[in-house]
Amino acid sequence: MEDAGFSMMRFRDTQWLNTLRLRVEAVDYAWNRWVVSYDEDMQMQLLGSWFGENARQGLLVALGSVIVLFFMLAGWLLLRQGSHGRHDPAMRIYLALLRELAVCGLPRQRGEAQGDFCQRVARLRPEYAEALRQVTVQFEALAYVPNSSQAVAGADAGSRLKALESTSWQLRRRLLSPWRRLLVNVGVVS
């Protein structure tokens, strides 16, 4: 056994190695004593050293505080993430038009692209086809190709946004004049 490469018998005269081995064994013993013999009494003793005499109540307060902080952080992150769409003026204008088209009985289907929606509305209501096509082209130019040569030639984003707003407003005015809105809500006109 002494001939083995890492036998402790071979290194029994090396003081620093024996000290290191004994310290590792002491750590191992303390770990086993703490973990293996960890029961409810030891748990309450540990919690009592952290939270005082009323350990259960302190634990509940600490756990409740952590849960509240977690949900506050999650809520803040979700609200912060959801606010990106509200700051895009082109999207805000287009969504307002979509809401009014939905009131007129022309809701955009889930997952339906702007171009597909425009074609469907053109089939159902040809009187709105050209105006909606212009709004769709202007919106796509602002939302998807802002710096491309395919966008409105020579126009900056501000003037393109104003053009989108103007075209959208004209279509919205045609869609929902006060009398038409009343007739749509009553169900006389679809």
In this structure, are residues 106 and 124 in contact, taking their beta carbons and an 8 Å threshold?
A: yes
Nearest 5°: the CA angle 77, 78, 83 is 100
Q: Which residue has the tokens 């088209």?
A: 101
What is the value of pTM for the model shown? 0.48
The tens digit of pLDDT for each residue in 138-184 reads: 988 888 865 544 444 445 778 888 888 888 888 888 776 666 666 66
User: CA-CA distance, 21 to 38, in Å (whole number)?
Assistant: 25
Nearby residues of 7 by Cβ (< 8 Å), 6 or more positions away: 1
The tens digit of pLDDT for each residue in 75-122 reads: 998 888 765 545 578 888 888 889 888 888 889 999 999 999 999 999
